Structure 1
Amino acid sequence: MGKIRVLIVDDSAFMRKMISSFLEEDHRFEIVAVARNGKDAVEKVKELKPDVVTLDVEMPILNGIDALKEIMRVEPVPVVMLSSTTKEGAENTIIAMQYGAVDFIAKPSGAISLDIDKVKDEIIQKVYHASKVKKLNLRFDSQIVKSPITNVDNCSKIEKSVTISQGFSLSKKIICIGTSTGGPRALQQVLTRIPRDVDAPIVVVQHMPPGFTKSLADRLDSISEIHVKEAQDGEVLKRGVAYIAPGGFHLKVVKVGTSLAVKLDNITVPRNGHRPAVDVLFESVNELLDVAKIAVIMTGMGSDGTEGLKKLKQSGEVRSIAESEETSVVFGMPKTAIASNKIDVVARLEKIAEEIMKMMSK
């Protein structure tokens, strides 16, 4: 197998040199070129057709967002963004993820991070995993705002389903969604299709570091009918609201009287390297004995969510959905969940909201 051919794009010569040296130390990578701005990057992508691009967000002439849009238009390729952790940097990163970037790396200390070696292992890992992404799933659908579902009786055929013989007997319901790599775009496709009058709260775990989940929630809120927000400790869950776990915190759902509330936990250790973790969310929801649950696992590396799903399925009223391989940017988490035989429906990304609403109506 040949080496993974990487194009490094950054306006800082120091950053270009450091990222190149990190990757060149690993025998799996070959640096085919470097570029100092977005315009140069687009031209080199067309000419060299690299396997992966690392792309700085903030650059002169053509910034990272505009360069990404052009790359996805002319020559789709897996892109890993490098971003500052400022509010503006986080917002731009979320936009980049929704325009086709596979993943991102937060620079430790600003645009020119002299301590970039702190994320050396993360750079190597994420560039490697990006090289495994199917280019077919990188193209961005320019129709950013999707029409919400108003009729769930005419849903098109899905890839795999099992017969759900009876509806939920419990009146109180909760929708739980877990995702990782490729998740921001997947969440956009799903949450923008959920109608504002959905009769349940939605809790979301997206693997993402601190400082970025607020921007993700704000972005999704601006294009969705439902309200989307970053979850806060102790708040009572409301129907028609999606709560995204803050980076660095496990999100648990607990009973407070007759209501459901958020419990954030930054003390419990990460689960399989993740905090928040989908398994932790699912396990907490499993304790809610008088609540019907819909569990959704979408694109992402690894197997987070499967163990929690197994516990969910042992008791209570639970329906489960996994994203299909055809639309997953990374078919890791859904694949493991499907292999557990605990998934009721496997659906293409654009059909997941329909399947959720079908389950809600049963």
Structure 2
Amino acid sequence: MPVRVLIVDDSGFFRHRITDLLAGDSRIEVVGSAQNGREGVEQAKKLKPDLITMDVEMPQMNGIEAVRVIMRECPTNILMLSSLTHEGAQVTLQALEAGALDYLSKDMRAWMEHSSSLEKQLRDKVVELGRSRHARQRSSFISSAGKSSGGTSMVFRPDSASRSPASSTATSRPARTPAPAARPSGQRTEPAGSRLQERSATPATGIAPRRPVSRKSIPADCKLVVIGSSTGGPAALQQILTQLPANFPHPILLVQHMPKTFTSVFASRLDQQCNIAVKEAEDGDRLMPGRALLAPGGHQMIIDPRNKDVIRIMPGDERLTYKPSVDVTYASAAKSYASKVLAIILTGMGADGCDGARLLRQQGATVWAQNKESCTIYGMPQAVVNAGLANEILDLTEFGPILSNKR
């Protein structure tokens, strides 16, 4: 059956343009449109679409408030359309907090041109998100977590009992204390029954034998954590990172598929929400325990081959689909830190991260993948799992407690 789509936008041009772009795909059926958020809520209840494309700025009820109402009253997968401005990034992240799954840039020039790239991107996102059952899963999480006083869902927010609440402005939080040095290799001991059996590599893959990995903790010799994500990643990263203590003993690299404006805003919001420090990576930044560096949109983030404590930010290569790319950062980590890397691959479309995970495993590193049930889109973790590269397959709710050593 085709994915049934409702288009909500106050611009007649965009309603017609989106309809035209989707009409030529047999996998998609446009079932209705609405001119404002209030009408969009009514149409969502009436038509019960698989996916809603939602504008942000609209009269009567804006897109963010419409997302909140829809997620509360008739949970539906939602794709936001947003401008590539600082303000557009802010409100888009608020929409993701409210329950939207993903976003697409609303660059007027690109939408007016007959861009095959835009058409493919829109259609692929609509189909993947429309077929996902994540809205229902997310609605259940909202119900169990409760609502904030302002009606915003807790999906993208830390629990108030253990972390400072998220907001679009800076909030108070406990002072960060310097992280302790990582334990020397071999200092931690684990009961034999808690480790996986070692597996021999097949000659065809050239992958080093799987090291014993505790199901309850980070590998004892870990020196660096690298996390890759795409569609659904902002909420997943927030859920994981807000559970880490300020004295988390390892540096963290984050690669989230986002444009430049969005990564700067996203890093700032995470920094407000987390006990660890989070910043958009800049060329020359140093790896530090208890700090996460987010790859800037439109660029690649690697580790300096001459100094493995320093990050280098490189221009985005047009030959690479993703800027930033999980594969690029994973490969760099494999070269600099070899077996002492814990790589985590989270929700996202496509297969970015699979080639990098293969290089990591060849060096004896550890790879954890998010499971299908908790992914918005299972593409990236699925590619790693299907290639036999995942040491562990974990639910999204498991990463935070394991990383923070909360057993």
TM-score by length of structure 1 reads: 0.87
SS in 2 for 1:239: coil
Q: Is the 8 A contact 1:78 1:138 kept in 2?
A: no
The correspondence for 1:212, drawn from 240, 255, 262, is: 262
Deviations 1:247-299 (A, max 9, x none): 11111122554x5111112253454x211111111100011147721110111
- Measured at CA, do residues 15 and 105 of structure 1 come closer, stay the same or move farther in structure 2, by a change above 3 Å? same
In structure 2, what is the Cα distance between the partners aligned to 1:350 and 1:169? 22
Paired with 2:360 and 2:317, the residues of 1 have a C-alpha distance of: 20
Alignment partners' CA distance in 2, 1:306 and 1:185: 22
Question: Which residue does the alignment assign to 1:155?
Answer: none
DSSP 3-state at the match of 1:203: strand
Within 5 Å, which residues of 2 pair with 1:1-362?
2-109=1-108, 115=112, 117-118=114-115, 119-134=118-133, 135-139=135-139, 141=142, 142-143=153-154, 144-146=157-159, 147=162, 162=196, 164=212, 170=221, 173-255=223-305, 257=307, 260-271=309-320, 273-289=321-337, 292-316=340-364, 318-358=365-405
Q: Which one is further off, 216-225 or 131-140?
A: 131-140
Over the aligned positions, Cα root-mean-square deviation in angstroms equals: 2.5
**Closer, same or farther: CA 49–198 of 1 in aligned 2, 3 Å:** same
* 1:229-249, Cα deviation, whole Å (9 max, x unpaired): 111112112211111111111
| Structure 2 letter corresponding to 1:229 | K
Moved over 6 A (4+): none
Name the aligned partner's letter for residue 219 of structure 1.
Answer: R
Distance 1:279 1:114 in 2: 29
Q: Report the CA distance between 1:131 and its aligned residue.
A: 1.2
SS in 2 for 1:23: helix
Give ranges in structure 1 of 5+ residues lacking alignment. 149-159
**Structure 1 residue 99: deviation in Å?**
2.6
In structure 2, relative to structure 1, the CA distance for the partners of 1:97 and 1:161 (3 Å cut) is farther
Question: Residue 165 and residue 229 in structure 1: after superposition, are their counterparts in 2 closer, same or farther (change >3 A)?
Answer: closer
Equivalent in the alignment of 1:156 = none
Q: 1:239 to 1:49 in 2, by over 3 A?
A: same
Contact 2:8/2:55 (CA < 8 Å) preserved in 1?
yes
The 8 Å contact of residues 52 and 131 in structure 1, kept in 2 or not, is answered as yes
Work out whether residues 228 and 254 of structure 2, in 8 Å CA contact, stay in contact via their aligned partners in 1. Answer: yes
What SS does the aligned partner of 1:138 have?
helix
Q: Is the CA contact 1:161–1:344 (under 8 Å) kept in the aligned structure 2?
A: no
- Does the 8 Å CA contact 1:204/1:242 hold for their aligned counterparts? yes
| Structure 1 pair 168–78 and aligned structure 2 pair: CA distance change class (3 A) | closer
Q: More displaced, 19-28 or 59-68?
A: 19-28
Instruction: State the secondary structure of the residue aligned to 1:193.
Output: coil
User: Which stretch has the larger CA shift, 133-142 or 31-40?
Assistant: 133-142
Distance 2:254 2:228 in 1: 6
**For structure 1, which segment, 98-107 or 58-67, has the greater mean C-alpha deviation from structure 2 after superposition?**
98-107
Alpha-carbon distance between aligned partners in 1 of 2:317 and 2:311, rounded to the nearest angstrom: 15
Counterpart contact for 1:294–1:356, Cα < 8 Å? no
CA contact (8 A) 1:323 1:346 kept: yes
Aligned residue identity for 1:209: P
Single out whichever of 161-170 and 288-297 deviates more from structure 2.
161-170
Alpha-carbon spacing, 1:116–1:38, altered in 2? closer, same or farther (3 Å): farther
In 2, Cα distance between equivalents of 1:58 and 1:267: 31
Q: Choose 13-22 or 129-138, whichever is displaced more.
A: 129-138
Structure 2 contact 303–332 (Cα < 8 Å) conserved: yes
Greater share of residues in strand: 1
8 A Cα contact 1:81 1:103, kept in partner: yes
Q: Which amino acid aligns with 1:6?
A: V
Equivalent AA in structure 1 for residue 112 of structure 2: D
Structure with larger RCO (C-alpha < 8 A, sep 6+)? 1
Question: How far, CA to CA, are the matches of 1:122 and 1:306 in structure 2?
Answer: 21
Q: For residues 67 and 233 of structure 1, what CA distance do their matches in structure 2 show? A: 39
When the two structures are superposed, what TM-score results if normalisation uses the length of structure 2?
0.78
Cα gap change, 1:115 to 1:72, in 2 (>3 Å)? same
Aligned AA (1:95): Q
Deviates more, 1:127-136 or 1:83-92: 127-136
Separation in 2 of the partners of 1:29 and 1:267? 32
Offset of residue 169 of structure 1: 6.4
